Amino acid sequence: MKAVVTVASDGRKSVAEPCLEPCPIERGMRVLGGKWKGSILWHLKDGPVRFNDLTRQLGGASKKMVNQRLKELEAAGLVERRVLSTRPIAVEYAITSFGRSALAVLDQLREWSETQGI
């Protein structure tokens, strides 16, 4: 439902039927928004990637930041973590089918950014 803004005779504005919960765009941004999340998903699109390799591919992101974002993406069901060995610890991350469903949106965002010179 669309919120309707009305203006009273004294110039004061009020909103009829305001949004009481986040709209679909806001909900999507809560899942995909955040520095490095989109880039992480994009780097996982071609197959599983080990943690250190992913960190190298992201360049400007610290290991701590990548680890934090991966945990958030895993909690949201967008990526899955696989332990390859315990000594030394080696893990890889893969995109899930749910995460893969976001790639079209990310590709459109990439195209828009390139077209606009952002």
- Predicted pLDDT at 96: 98
CB atoms within 10 A of CB 71: 12
- Predicted pLDDT at 111: 95
3-state helix, strand, coil in the chain (%, to 5): 45, 20, 30
Instruction: Tell me the chain's radius of gyration from C-alpha atoms.
Output: 20
Over range 45-58, report the average pLDDT: 96
Largest pairwise CA distance in the chain? 73
Each residue of 63-92: pLDDT tens digit?
999 999 999 999 999 999 999 999 899 999
Confidence of residue 5 (pLDDT cuts 50, 70, 90): confident
Average pLDDT, the chain: 92
Over range 45-73, report the average pLDDT: 96
DSSP 8-state secondary structure symbol assigned to residue 106? H
Domains along the sequence of the chain with CATH: 22-116 (1.10.10.10)
CB 79 within 8 A of CB 97: no
Confidence of residue 1 (pLDDT cuts 50, 70, 90): low
pTM for the full predicted model: 0.80
